[in-house]
Amino acid sequence: MLKQKKKRNQKNNIKPVIKNKNDHTEHPILGSKDGVPTVVSLYHDHQSGETSTHHTHPWEHQAYITRGRGIIFVDGEKFPIKEGDFVLVPPNADHYFENTGTSVLSRVTFNPLASEDHLG
């Protein structure tokens, strides 16, 4: 029991990193250069009618829709998305995001660290 308690109280050597999306145009916004151990963070704005690149990759990723509405296309099927939605994109899924609204569609995306070399 004492061993478990000590382990929980040990501090790691990672310091908080705070970056504002408006100050960073490169992806990931938070990544290995910042010392992240497992997950990289990205931010995307899609103008009305705009889509992300149609693509596939071996990792899952998650997105949080911060404003607007649109669809996510996954393996031939379209799913409506809107502000406040959390989205899981399965690994190896053929997918893209599309803004079908009249205002900006914004999302925060979380990918595994292994995806970092594939981000543009």
- Bond preceding residue 28 cis, omega within 30 of 0: yes
List, for residues 85-100, the tens digit of each pLDDT value: 999 999 999 999 999 9
**What's the predicted TM-score (pTM) here?**
0.84
Please provide residue 49's backbone torsions phi and psi, each rounded to the nearest 5 degrees: 85, -10
Q: Count other Cβ atoms within 10 Å, centred on residue 10.
A: 6
Q: Which CATH architecture has domain 42-120?
A: Sandwich (2.60)
**Among the listed residues 80, 38, 83, the one whose alpha carbon sits nearest the alpha carbon of residue 61:** 38
Q: Where are the domains of the chain?
A: 42-120
Confidence (pLDDT) at 11: 66
pLDDT digits (tens, 9 = 90+) for 35-77: 999 999 999 999 999 999 999 999 999 999 999 999 999 999 9
